[in-house]
Amino acid sequence: MNAINTSVSLNMSIVRPEYFFITGLTGIQYSRYFYMFLFCTYVIAVIGNSAVLLLVAVERSLHSPKYIGVFNLALADFGEANALIPNMMKTFLFDSQYISYNACLANMFFVFFFSTMQSSTLVVLAYDRFIAICLPLRYHAIVTNTIMCFIFSAIWAFNAFMVGTLVLLINRISFCKTNVVQSFFCDHGPVYKLSCNDRTVNAVLAVFNMCLYLIVPLILIVLSYICILFALSKVTTWEGRLKALKTCVTHLLLVASLFLPILCIYLFASTTTLSPNARVISSSFSYAIPPMINPIIYVLNTAEIKDFIRKIFKNRSRPT
């Protein structure tokens, strides 16, 4: 795959391939079953997150700051699942592993954009729990629907700018050795590392974005829960403490489903040598599993959503 068709920019300094070749899982006999499993996670993610989006949109009792956050997280999950898994199905189940240069950058943008929205939304939901528990008397003055809508509008715009910059800077590097991407989609790291000219800016921005959307959110969430635990230590009864903690269970499960797989991958990658196939499998799980699990967590651990679903079934079971 070293001989590739290239189109050269007007100043004849940047060499770009007409297409990339996505390797995915190579040399595994039953890899199709793995992709079929991912397809099942896609179906569950799309149906589950669509249901959550519809529930929050139509039920007036859910038009609150907390559920504006839940709506945005479901929207991010829905977007990531659609940006990632259908392309994987087309690529590997139908042996269409070639992707054009521009389509590769578009795929990279949408996957990273929606994944950054997931971590950012969890920080906002942690802020919501922090205010609700540490400043309960001022909650309705500090956290309003208007403020939450403004916060999320700013986050969507900021993340689009950051991820757009990350992707557009791919255009400044040359690809003159190979066009084979060692990943299951147009992943930023494997793509920019194919360059044969200076890629320092791309590497720095990649590390910066990793810190911005992985390390910083985790630090902010941990700090918010340290403050929450400190506030709960002042509550005199265990019943009061448990009641407050129960309101955080759903958020903590969402944080665990998103960050634990990613942290495990980084831990294993830093302590052991992962084969390309093992890295692809673990990375694809870290992207595909949270959008599937999150709507299940909403339904099983959110009293308002469970009450709304019970009300729907009761109304349908009543004789007309």
SS3 readout for 142-175 = HCCHHHHHHHHHHHHHHHHHHHHHHHHHHHHCCC
The two tokens of residue 113 are 């954009």
| pLDDT at residue 144, as a whole number | 94
Residue 222, pLDDT > 50, answer yes
Higher-confidence residue of 96 and 251: namely 251
| pLDDT at residue 243, as a whole number | 83
- The C-alpha atoms of residue 108 and residue 192 are separated, in whole angstroms, by 11
For residues 281 and 34, the answer to whether their CB atoms sit within 8 Å is yes
CB atoms closer than 10 angstroms to residue 247: 16
Q: Are strands 6-8 and 15-17 parallel, antiparallel or unpaired?
A: antiparallel
For residues 234 and 191, the answer to whether their CB atoms sit within 8 Å is no
Tens of pLDDT, residue by residue over 123-147, are: 999 999 999 999 988 999 999 999 9
Lowest-pLDDT choice from 102-111, 202-211, 230-239, 304-313:
304-313
Q: How far is CA 241 from the centre of its chain?
A: 31
| pLDDT at residue 129, as a whole number | 93
Please report, rounded to a whole number, the percentage of residues in the chain having pLDDT higher than 90: 46
Q: How many CA atoms lie within 13 A of 44 on its CB side?
A: 16
The full set of domains in the chain, from first to last, is: 28-95+117-172+202-317 (1.20.1070.10)
Helix (H) or strand (E) holding 17: strand 15-17
- The C-alpha atoms of residue 308 and residue 213 are separated, in whole angstroms, by 33
Helix (H) or strand (E) holding 6: strand 6-8
Residue 12, pLDDT > 50, answer no
Query: In whole angstroms, how far apart are CA 215 and each of 76, 123, 177, 212?
Result: 19, 12, 33, 6
Res. 95 pLDDT band, cuts 50 70 90: confident
Smallest CA-to-CA distance from 290 within 257, 249, 250 is with 257
Mean pLDDT of 204-214: 93
Sheet of 180-181: strand order equals 98-100, 19-22, 180-181
Residue 286, pLDDT > 70, answer yes
List alpha helices for 169-214, DSSP H. Answer: 188-192, 200-210
Q: Where are the beta strands (DSSP E) in 18-85?
A: 19-22
For residues 179 and 194, the answer to whether their CB atoms sit within 8 Å is yes
Lowest-pLDDT choice from 54-58, 83-87, 255-259, 273-277:
273-277
Residue 309, pLDDT > 50, answer yes
The two tokens of residue 211 are 């810190």
CB atoms closer than 10 angstroms to residue 225: 19
- The C-alpha atoms of residue 280 and residue 240 are separated, in whole angstroms, by 45
Amino acid, res. 26? T
Higher-confidence residue of 220 and 265: namely 220
Mutual angle of helices 238-271 and 216-232, in 10-degree steps = 160
Res. 264 pLDDT band, cuts 50 70 90: confident
Higher-confidence residue of 150 and 316: namely 150
| pLDDT at residue 10, as a whole number | 38
| pLDDT at residue 164, as a whole number | 96
Lowest-pLDDT choice from 64-78, 158-172, 269-283:
269-283
